[in-house]
Amino acid sequence: MNHREMLIELTNRCNLSCHHCLDRRHSGDGDLNIEIFERILQNAREHGFDHISFTGGEPTLHPRFTELLTMVSEAGYDFGFVTNGWNFTRIYEKLLPHSNKLTGITFSLDGAREGTHDRLRGRDSYRRVMQAVSICVIKGIPFTFNTAITSHNRGELYEIAGLAMKLGSRGIRFGHLISTPRIVFENMDISPVDRRQTEIITCQLQKTFSIPVSMAPGYYTTELFPCAPLKMQEININWRGNITMCCNLSGHGEDVGNDDIAGNLSEMSFSEAYGRLIHINRKFQKDKCALHDKGNFKDSDYFPCWYCLNYFRKVAWLSNYPENPWSSLVW
């Protein structure tokens, strides 16, 4: 059976309030129920899932984070997590007993310079990331970086990749923004044309640096189903216990479409919710193929995340911002 990964949003609470974050990623509503987490560990392996990536919010804020690490290790899953690094000096020692199951930590790095990063994430956040990385180097903890490409940092991509290599990162992944009202209001996103240009730059960086440089799914491609969720190699479970198509969809506010939710694990078994997810995925793929085969694709639909945002009615609100380059591309 193929290896599959679960992205589990432990909490949507966060100690930062990043300007480019999705609406529901730092609203402070709550944490994943421990009983639901136990149910996931008991039942996910039979469906081929053997790796867990903790997300948030800030996953280290879950009040039982240390206990969750023990549960994962004892259940035999490999794991990693995405973090802003703010709490790392406090929690890193809790990771060391589980180093044989820890595949790596991904730190958010949104600027090669302190001013750029802190402009998006808040004062002293860059310094905290550098402290966290220093600890990883000393303790031999593998780490990588994620960078969200914005209008503020798009001129620093070469420097960011160079910094990542200098610091000892095992790789860096760039990604496009997912539209929210705040991102639009503050002009943080870049146009479709500019996205294509940044993708050319990342291709050049791949040839320049010795560490892996990649683009997160969402870049322009003629492949209709390019990402792990659409290949059923990855599923997302949010802090409410909902199994959903993708973490980039479930992070939107609750006043938008929720057809990406397959089911809640407090109401049904993992197997039932997973079966519903397969059904949603098959319908999505059928609909996308039909639209493409009829010749009804816009050029922007080849940005797969943008296509999904339209399909699941997450960006209808953009019609209220006619000056935005993406507003005319809403279905």
Reported confidence tier of residue 27, pLDDT bands at 50, 70, 90? low
Q: In angstroms, rounded to a whole number, what is the distance separating the alpha carbons of residues 93 and 173?
A: 26
Q: Give me the residue label for tokens 């001129």.
A: 155
127 CB contacts (<8 Å, ≥6 apart)? 114
- Compare 250 and 173 and report the one with higher pLDDT: 173
- pLDDT(10) > 60: yes
Task: Give the separation between CA 275 and CA 245, rounded to whole angstroms.
Answer: 12
Q: CA-CA distance, 324 to 319, in Å (whole number)?
A: 9
Cα 86 from Cα 91, distance rounded (Å)? 10
Q: For 4-329, which CATH superfamily applies?
A: Aldolase class I (3.20.20.70)
What local confidence, expressed as pLDDT, does residue 70 receive?
97
Domain spans, the chain: 4-329
CB 98 within 8 A of CB 73: yes
Residue 257 confidence (pLDDT): 81
pLDDT mean over 307-330? 93
Q: Is 250 helix (H, G, I), strand (E, B) or coil?
A: helix
- Assign 2 a pLDDT band (cuts: 50, 70, 90): low
Q: What is the pLDDT of residue 226?
A: 96
SS3 9: strand
Summary mean pLDDT of the chain: 94
Spatial contact of 23 and 253, defined as CB atoms under 8 Å apart = yes
pLDDT in tens, 118-134: 999 999 999 999 999 99
Question: pTM score, two decimals?
Answer: 0.94
